[in-house]
Amino acid sequence: MLEEGHRLVALDTLLHPEALADLVIAQPRPLEPAENVALDGWVRGGGHLLLFADPLLTTESRFALGDPRRPADTVLLGPILAHWGLALREGRESTGTPFPVEAPGELAPLPGGPRDCRIEQAGLIAACHIGKGFVLIVADAALLAPADGPDVAGRARSLRELMRRAFVH
């Protein structure tokens, strides 16, 4: 689904995001300070980001511990989220969500936090205008887990809608 109408490029670093048009980051490793600065500058300059940040990933990975392709079990994005005026907390109710979630987190504004940021779905989603750019943050990554059966079409629709929201501004 991610490849529909998009060219996927796997990145090892975010030190040079200026060549990117749209960016999806899902459950990244902890970012280096220079990567936080580069990502923030890219967004503020007009970049659009869809970020899946799950504080407690429940999906099994086919990659072994230590493999760089393995998603982090706990996302550690506190510095960049705090810079954008947000906090990510563990645990919230998972009822009434617009797509499947498992042990979702909760996004909340920090005191004096973002002025142009909407917290939606009881903290599951934050939609933020940052500088000239836009960030859509989802506090769960279960939507990206492998799925079979009738749920696949619904997951694809949900992902398409999140991508549309993140990249059409």
Tokens matching residue 149: 């059966």
Within a domain: 9: no
Residue 113 contacts residue 81 (beta carbons within 8 Å): no
Instruction: Scan for tokens 């936090």, then name that residue.
Output: 113
User: What is residue 92's predicted lDDT score, i.e. its pLDDT?
Assistant: 67
Mean confidence (pLDDT) of the chain: 85
In the chain, how many domains are there? 1
Tell me: the pLDDT tens digits for 133-145?
A: 999 999 998 888 8
11 domain residue, yes or no: no
Question: How many Cα atoms occupy the beta-carbon half-sphere of 105 within 13 Å?
Answer: 27
pLDDT (tens digit per residue) in 147-167: 766 678 888 889 999 999 999
Query: What pairing do the DSSP bridges indicate for beta strands 48-52 and 22-26?
Result: parallel
Q: Which residues face 134 on adjacent strands?
A: 48, 129
pTM above 0.85, yes or no: yes
Counting every residue written for the chain, the total comes to 169
Strand pairing report for 48-52 and 133-138: parallel
Residue 5 domain-assigned (yes or no): no
> What DSSP designation does 60 have?
-
> pLDDT class for 70, splitting at 50, 70, 90?
confident
Q: What are the backbone angles phi and psi of residue 118, rounded to the nearest 5°? A: -100, 125
- Rounded distance between C-alpha atoms, residue 81 and residue 106, angstroms: 12
Domain carrying residue 57: 19-167
Q: Is residue 116 part of a domain?
A: yes
Q: Is residue 12 part of a domain?
A: no
CA distance 136 to 128: 6
Task: Give the range among 15-19, 87-91, 160-164 with minimum mean pLDDT.
Answer: 15-19
